[in-house]
Homo-oligomer: A and B are copies of this chain.
Amino acid sequence: MIRRHPLAEQAAEELLRRIGSGEWALGAKLPGETTLAAQLGVGRSTIREAVRELAGRRVLESRQGAGVFVIALQAAEDWDKVLRKADITDVLEGRLAIETEGARLAATRRTPADLKNFRYTLADRRRAAVKAPDDWYIEADLAFHRAVVTAAHNAVLTELFDTFVPRIRRAMIDMLKLDEEHRHRHDQAAHEAIADAIRAKDPDLAAARSREHLSAVRSSMN
């Protein structure tokens, strides 16, 4: 018999399926380990590992002496996975939403430290656009965009941006590989313009310039 996955993982999937099917409601107590083991036809330690895996995914919670309880009806969305599977267009539109709002807020909240950060990251990007290898250029570009979002001083927006970064990075790598002319290396002016608007404390202008730039990026990746 060939088994693609270990028994413990199969058991975890089966438990997840039963939870999803409504067999056990939110907050309900699962049968004991020995009972479950008998039901699924596996050993007790296998059940324990399955439960432990779902505990790691924040679906189950076991309390010594009391039992195992359902604390979520399904596994929390794994954002890395969602972004990996999504169309790059959808991802870039999500990024646009986060970053234009970030630019808008940054225009009212930016500190002197944020402006200094803009200077550094823009200078880096300018240098990298000319002579650095692709990955340096990509990191320099992302660093500036991150500086903009950071200047919004909103923890949720920053965390959202960081969640998107790996997916965006991969897309940029793929694009630069296909596009020998590195056409995107020439839009330094657009980046300077965004920074200028934030520096000038003009929220609408900052948002507009950010939107303009990111729309162009999205279009170029189709």
Enumerate chain A interface residues (CB-CB to B < 8 A).
6, 8, 12, 45, 48-49, 52-58, 64, 76-80, 82-83, 86-87, 90-91, 93-94, 96-98, 100-102, 105, 152, 154-157, 159-160, 162-163
**With the chains together, A101 CA to B55 CA distance in Å?**
35
Known pairs A52-B56, A90-B157; list 8 more (Cβ under 8 Å).
Answer: A52-B53, A54-B56, A56-B56, A57-B57, A87-B155, A93-B101, A93-B154, A94-B157
Residue of B nearest to A78 (CB): B76
CB distance from A185 to the nearest CB of B (A): 27
Contact of A156 among B57, B91, B156, B157 (CB under 8 A): B91
**With the chains together, A76 CA to B49 CA distance in Å?**
21
Query: A interface, by DSSP: helix, strand, loop or mixed?
Result: helix
Residue of B nearest to A58 (CB): B78
| Residues in B whose Cβ lies below 8 Å from that of A91 | 156
Residue of B nearest to A56 (CB): B56
| Residues in B whose Cβ lies below 8 Å from that of A54 | 56
Give 16 A-B contacts (CB < 8 Å), ordered by A residue.
Answer: A8-B52, A45-B48, A49-B49, A53-B56, A54-B56, A57-B57, A76-B78, A76-B80, A77-B159, A86-B156, A94-B98, A94-B156, A96-B101, A97-B101, A97-B102, A100-B101
| Residues in B whose Cβ lies below 8 Å from that of A98 | 94, 97-98
**With the chains together, A106 CA to B6 CA distance in Å?**
45
CB distance from A218 to the nearest CB of B (A): 11
